[in-house]
Structure 1
Amino acid sequence: MKFIRFVFPMALAGAALLTSCQTAPVSGGPYHVTAYKPNDPSKVRVKVSLSKQNVYVMEGDRCLMAVACSVGIPAKPTPKGNFTIYRKEENKRSGSYGFRVIGNNVVPSEGQGGPGRYVGYPMGYWCEFAPAYGFHQGFVHPYPRTHGCVRLHGEAAPKFFALVRNGTPVNIASTQPEDATLGSKVQRIDDSKAPDPDPHLMITSAAFQKPSGPLLE
């Protein structure tokens, strides 16, 4: 099984700069996402465009954050419809895939049965919107890659986590109206050639890197 790879906020060099929802991306430099504080957190809405692989965090017509994401593969698609965020966990680990620690060896594992100690794969900044489906930190590819979750870059995931709360509405559809106005300005990311992180690191708390500086402007 090819395990989903985890992306750290500072891991990717050569990605591009996204300065705001209204500014076109600039090529080169470290990847950076600007996210804005909502005036009224109860008015925050999340929209996911499956065809564009974009996430738009909106407060009315105001864009708080617009970023690329990875969505589910055809065999395990991201569910469409209206949902709400109902569970947030900053340092979540998967219960269905991860690693088995046997002495000094760390090997990929599916599920918790088997020899040694099981440690789930890190899924930082988890925001669950349906049973076993959530937004979380991970590598972002330019094509569907997940088992149904919505994966966000390590720079975007903690800011998304800060913007939403339990009860935040989520709409997931093939397209969104924001595709026409914001979609072309969202910087594309391709983590497909990034190396797999060291599994010995992935089983430790260091897998959950904390962002530096303020999350929201």
Structure 2
Amino acid sequence: MAENPLSSRAWWKGDGVVGKPRIVINLSTQRVQYYKGKELVGVSPISSGRESHGTVTGSYRILDKDIDHRSSLFGSYVDKEGNLVQGDVDTRTDPAPPGTKYLGANMRYFMRIVGGIGMHEGYLPGYPASHGCIRLPTKMAAIFFKETPTGTPVEIMGESALAATESEIPIGVDKITDVASPETKRDVKKKSKEPLKGQPKTTVRRAVVDASKPSWFKWTRRPPRGATIYLSEE
């Protein structure tokens, strides 16, 4: 299948492909590459740890998986009715206001890599912004979670400070259009770099929420082996 140039930020063609899975995360390009054997079968943008919470580099393995995981460190304090009282809290440094309870940040499709760091569904603002975890778009997080057994090797390399700024991808987005602001284009040109071997060149796009789709992803049909599924596929 010919590659859709409007969808190169995220794609998957690993259904039916045999070979042991392997994941490579590049902080410099803010991309994750998914291999089965020696074949590259998936690519996705990420948002890794921000400056004060940098994502660790090195060689690891998927330790465990939790489809409905919530953070034990970062989240919000809510009242008895569940209304937000204080957001973006760190339980290690932010005491709970009287009469509130802690609600951990939602980290669906969580796959633990090392310590409290893992890959999961999350909001991608277009730059490194997490507390150290690897955020993925909803659809790609669901695919990776489904395809990845515990013990899968994960290599994390690069430096997030070198990452170019891209347009955001909100949680639940299925569609990305090939539109960029002049400011973003200048920033990408300034910080241009070569992508990983076999990876499509980085193109900046603006994410567009398709209101006709739910904010979760579920396969209804299994594509044929090697079929390429793009994040913008309807």
**Do the structures match in fold with TM over 0.5?**
yes
Per the alignment, residue 91 of structure 1 pairs with 68
Per the alignment, residue 13 of structure 1 pairs with none
- The size of the alignment, in residue pairs, is 178
1:69 aligns with 2:37: no
CA displacement 1:101-156 (0-9 Å, x = unmatched): 31443232432953323221110000001001000100113221111111000111
C-alpha distance in 1 between matches for 2:216 and 2:50: 27
C-alpha distance in 2 between matches for 1:33 and 1:130: 26
Per the alignment, residue 26 of structure 1 pairs with 6
Distance 1:183 1:39, change over 3 A: closer
Match of 1:130 among 84, 95, 114: 114
Per the alignment, residue 200 of structure 1 pairs with none
Q: Percent identity?
A: 24
Match of 1:211 among 215, 218, 234: 218
Match of 2:79 among 72, 91, 102: 102
1:145 aligns with 2:122: no
- Matched position secondary structure for 1:161: helix
- Counterpart residue identity of residue 157, structure 2: A
Per the alignment, residue 161 of structure 1 pairs with 145
Per the alignment, residue 231 of structure 2 pairs with none
- Judge which range, 64-73 or 31-40, deviates more: 31-40
- Counterpart residue identity of residue 100, structure 1: Y
Is residue 68–residue 189 contact of structure 1 (8 Å, CA) maintained in 2? no
C-alpha distance in 1 between matches for 2:222 and 2:136: 15
Match of 1:179 among 196, 202, 207: 196
Q: Which of structures 1 and 2 has the bigger CA Rg? A: 2
Distance 1:67 1:123, change over 3 A: same
CA displacement 1:33-63 (0-9 Å, x = unmatched): 434225445x110001111111000013312
Give the superposition deviation at 1:91.
0.2
Is residue 10–residue 45 contact of structure 2 (8 Å, CA) maintained in 1? no
Per the alignment, residue 21 of structure 2 pairs with 44
Distance 1:73 1:99, change over 3 A: closer
C-alpha distance in 1 between matches for 2:72 and 2:52: 20
C-alpha distance in 1 between matches for 2:55 and 2:205: 19
- Matched position secondary structure for 2:197: helix
Q: Which 4+ runs in 1 deviate beyond 4 A?
A: 186-191, 214-217
1:80 aligns with 2:57: yes
Per the alignment, residue 111 of structure 1 pairs with 91
Distance 1:26 1:209, change over 3 A: closer
CA displacement 1:136-186 (0-9 Å, x = unmatched): 1001132211111110001110001012111000001118x97132141x6
Q: TM-score w.r.t. structure 1 length?
A: 0.69
Q: CA RMSD in A?
A: 3.2
Give the superposition deviation at 1:208.
8.1
For 1:55-66, list aligned pairs within 5 A.
55-66=32-43
